Structure 1
Amino acid sequence: MTDNDVIAAFDRMRVWQQGERRAVHKPLLVLFALARVNAGETAMIDWNVAEPHLKDLLEEFGPSGSSKTCHNPFWHLKTDGLWQLQGPSEIISRPASATPTLTELRTLHIQGGFPPELQQALARSPQLVATIGRRIVDAHFPASIRNDVLTGVGLPEEVCEGSSFREKDHRRDPTFREKVLLAYQYRCGICGHDLRLGRQIIGLEAAHIQWFQAKGPDAVPNGIALCSLHHKVFDLGAFTVLPQSFQIVFSQHLVGSDEAAGRMLAFHGAALILPQSRDYFPQPQFLDWHQKWVFKTPARA
């Protein structure tokens, strides 16, 4: 297989989707497997070894509760031609729809990994691993947390610093950032941060409420001006904004020292600093999406 053949094969990976729901199970499994190839690990991995890693990744980067189905991609990725399974024939020969239980995967020590032709192509080219890893993370996660995802799965810094430019395959509105910052009068909607150096705006970003990767539009009502810190924790699900009241609510999972947590949780229960026009207010449909598919439940009282 040529490098282009391998890239095309991973680009064709089918990810479960129902409307605008997030499903990052397969991308996280593939990224984890790529990191193993990059580290020179064996081609196949026992489910008992993979399970705790996938659960941790889904708890950190997936929707709340998604770790309960962490075994699904281990079984279903084979239908994309990117995965092979080894184990007792009575399990391996099942139709794709007959997903094994967690108990079966554990007790029978089912193993999974890239097919030999993919494994060989990836093993001989660290740059190919880097390119595919970046393309996958670009397609499924916002820019604010992509490097966190890559380092979380175990890919090295040189991969994190690369770029596949995959987003150029999709039409983006280059004026989205400026429109959102203007709507919020160039200040963070959470803490009011508005630092400038001359004409240069420092540390202020336009955050998508419903991620572009989940069909969120480049429209001002789907954006909030946030400082870089609040943008990252918003995309990680540390807080959300309630529809109607625009109240800021933090997750119980956000913890830290009294000083660090205190600075962040000082905004818990406060109202979002709203845009200058009602036309720009965050729309409930986008805030609902963030609460369902990004926010780490349960919320603080």
Structure 2
Amino acid sequence: MPCDSPSVPRLSDEDELSTATGARDVLAVFSSLRQHQQNGQRSPHKPLLALLALGRLAANGRSDVPWSVAEVELADLIAEFGPASRTGRAQSAAYPFTRLRADGIWTLDRDVVMDNVSPLRAGVTGRFEQALEARLRSEPALIETVARVLVDSHFPSTVAGDVLSAVGFDPEAAAVGEHPGASRSRRRSSAWRTAVLEAWDRQCAFCGFDGQAGGMTIGLDAAHVRWFALDGPDELNNGLALCTLHHKLFDRGVLGLDDDAAVVVSQRFSARTATGRAVYELHGLRLRPRPGTPLPAAPHMVWHREQVFQGAPLAS
């Protein structure tokens, strides 16, 4: 369950908002939602609700999200892009729908008890605070900027575009670093990617793909096991060289690693063609790095298994 923090900045009325210094303040309000990630536990529920409302604001000029919509669409987003949940779909959606009020950016049109699904079904609607919505509506480009900041703060680049597309934004929108006022608290190591690719002999740790063009590696990424956006370190024991396909499947929770550093394939994945079904053949494949290259550290593999991998592994 997402937890709440009393230290989140609040935008309470038109007068307060009018004294803000612009986009930087709006970005700071949404960026503060990162505080709800604790001890490496993924908690993207509130950001996903904010993204759903931003998408509706961009499309319709209003951020209104009726519970009847949230119970389906927000629940779908959480199931697809959040960690595995032990609660029902409606309950997972009710957590952010009621608790985002504590962050000072969300309001409901009637008072309801935190986390309680039943009263929400009486026709409750949520929306951004009036002053915040007015600020966003007055500068439409800022809506997309905020959406991009949110996904880049909570998801790796391989997943961010999928999330943006799911809530109605262009997945090719500019990256955070290109937005005035946007910033990161951490910077990626410029040397980490090269070190990881070299450590894995410039080939995919899962399938062995080693394509080059003009002597340059192509179609191969340095992948974080524990996501950089969630405090994953730029260290060799948190990196794998993966082809772009398997990097995508790894970050979407279709592929994972067991305690013995063997690849596992989720039962959620299905394919009909021989090319697609080749993913099944990865199941049970042990990683074999070159001598001197460390396997991913056990805590990072456990984090990925608990926070990213979805469903149950294929039967051996």
Q: TM-score, normalised by structure 1?
A: 0.90
AA paired with 1:259?
A
Distance 2:281 2:183 in 1: 36
Residue 101 of structure 1 is matched in structure 2 by 116
Distance 1:14 1:224 in 2: 26
Q: Does 2:286 correspond to 1:263?
A: no
Residue 146 of structure 1 is matched in structure 2 by 160
Q: Does 2:228 correspond to 1:175?
A: no
Across the aligned residues of Structure 1 and Structure 2, the Cα RMSD in angstroms comes to 1.7
* Aligned residue runs from structure 1 range 1-301, under 5 A: 1=17, 2-13=22-33, 15-65=35-85, 67=89, 68-87=91-110, 89=111, 91=112, 98-106=113-121, 108-157=122-171, 160-165=172-177, 166=182, 168-243=184-259, 245-272=260-287, 274-301=288-315
* Cα contact 1:139–1:167 (8 A) shared by 2: no
AA paired with 1:74?
F
Structure 2 CA distance for partners of 1:14 and 1:282, relative to 1, 3 Å: closer
Distance 1:293 1:169 in 2: 22
Distance 1:275 1:167 in 2: 35
Q: Could you tell me how far 1:35 is from its partner in structure 2?
A: 0.4
Distance 2:64 2:135 in 1: 15
AA paired with 1:64?
A
Residue 94 of structure 1 is matched in structure 2 by none
Q: Point out where structure 2 has 5 or more consecutive residues left out of the alignment.
A: 1-16
Q: Point out where structure 1 has 5 or more consecutive residues left out of the alignment.
A: 92-97
Structure 2 CA distance for partners of 1:127 and 1:30, relative to 1, 3 Å: same
Q: Could you tell me how far 1:15 is from its partner in structure 2?
A: 4.2
Q: Could you tell me how far 1:11 is from its partner in structure 2?
A: 2.1
Secondary structure (helix, strand or coil) at the match of 2:36 reads coil
* Cα contact 2:252–2:309 (8 A) shared by 1: yes
Equivalent residue pairs, number? 288
Residue 95 of structure 1 is matched in structure 2 by none
Per-residue CA distance 1:65-86 (angstroms, 9 max, x = gap): 2745221111111111110111
AA paired with 2:207?
C
Distance 2:244 2:84 in 1: 23
**Percent identity between the two aligned chains:** 36
Structure 2 CA distance for partners of 1:167 and 1:294, relative to 1, 3 Å: farther
Distance 2:34 2:98 in 1: 13
Distance 1:137 1:170 in 2: 15
AA paired with 1:242?
D
AA paired with 1:5?
D
Distance 2:148 2:63 in 1: 21
Structure 2 CA distance for partners of 1:8 and 1:16, relative to 1, 3 Å: closer
Residue 13 of structure 2 is matched in structure 1 by none
Which moved further from structure 2: 258-267 or 50-59?
258-267
